[in-house]
Structure 1
């Protein structure tokens, strides 16, 4: 990659981050449905066509933060050490996320993270788009596990477990508890849930 190409890529990433950051700030301040694309473009100091080049829909402006986790379960299965069962690798990965207070586990009490989760979980169009992301993750995980119905069923179960655990953790924190306080319960819940998987 040439220096010029690398510079362009970094500039695009900064622009993408600036647009998404402006959008999320406005959404948290006013609510998702009360913010227009024009408002976001103005706050990010870009044109509407530029905004849509980076984010095809308003929902994508929020769920962009989940992009790093797209296909994560499938990667965990593909990259696991020899001799480690897929469910064991996924369990270990989720537990590591809890220990690191990874927002995707719901076990993060930073006020912006709690507010961001509230925005996603309580806005119907965002919740629907998140479900679509999760279905794509389910297909990717099923492909990493195998081609048969057992692989598809296991993929659906694993992602349902992760979703329920994360939402449960977030709800406890949203009701005023700290991540530190919830951690032992979150770990025990994760152990119980993953141990019930085949």
Structure 2
């Protein structure tokens, strides 16, 4: 590495700027509403140029949805990385239980505070709600592709991916519902693992023999 930090320092500064812009955008969206905030206002509040904002985020939607969509292929990646002898159900259950243990925001159990407000903002903003739906579809399709590559059966792979994706979505929605109803993330997390086990047990019998890695 060069004495001035070289590419490593530049990359860190770029990441810091991107995070600053994203956090500024989130704060403004939550305070004023998505439609009421312009990219120019975000740039001014973040003390950067409008061009800098677009260097990191291609569209206004990306300012909010981009970081969330980093998890779009989590299910497909868990399926591909599973060990020999385990099924797609095993892989998905292990991924969910790990996220629950880590209080991962992508499973709806973060203690940070603004994730639920963001979810509510997405749900009440049509353009963002449509993108969230497409995000879900993309994740399911990626999982189906991962299974098809392995089994050669596109139909059953699509069926399996839909069921597994559905369980993950249902668990996340349940966590959101309970927290919005007044329960603390810690209280919801306390029995989240047991609920996940029951949810996967419901689909396991039908999928237990499918895509077991030899």
Deviates more, 1:37-46 or 1:121-130: 121-130
* CA shift for structure 1 position 117: 2.2
* CA shift for structure 1 position 109: 4.4
Aligned-pair Cα RMSD in Å: 1.9
Measured in 2, the distance between the counterparts of 1:149 and 1:134 equals 19
Residue number in structure 2 paired with 1:130: 132
Q: Mapping of 1:104-183 within 5 angstroms?
A: 104-146=106-148, 147=152, 148-183=154-189
Give the TM-score normalised by the residue count of structure 1: 0.90
* CA shift for structure 1 position 116: 2.1
Q: Which ranges of structure 2 fall in alignment gaps of 5 or more residues? A: 208-214
Q: Which has the higher helix share?
A: 1
- Report if the CA contact (8 A) 1:20-1:64 is conserved: no
Write the deviation string for residues 31-90 of structure 1: whole angstroms up to 9, x where unpaired: 212211111111112222221221122111111221431311111111111111111111
Count of residues in correspondence between the two structures:
198
Measured in 2, the distance between the counterparts of 1:187 and 1:121 equals 26
- Report if the CA contact (8 A) 2:69-2:135 is conserved: no
Secondary structure class of the residue paired with 2:70: helix
- Report if the CA contact (8 A) 1:109-1:173 is conserved: no
**Hey, which bits of structure 1, 4+ residues long, moved more than 6 A?**
none
Q: Looking at CA atoms only, which structure, 1 or 2, has the larger radius of gyration?
A: 2
Residue number in structure 2 paired with 1:58: 60
* CA shift for structure 1 position 143: 1.5
Q: 1:96 aligns with which of 82, 98, 120?
A: 98
Q: Which ranges of structure 1 fall in alignment gaps of 5 or more residues? A: none
* CA shift for structure 1 position 120: 2.3
Give the TM-score normalised by the residue count of structure 2: 0.84
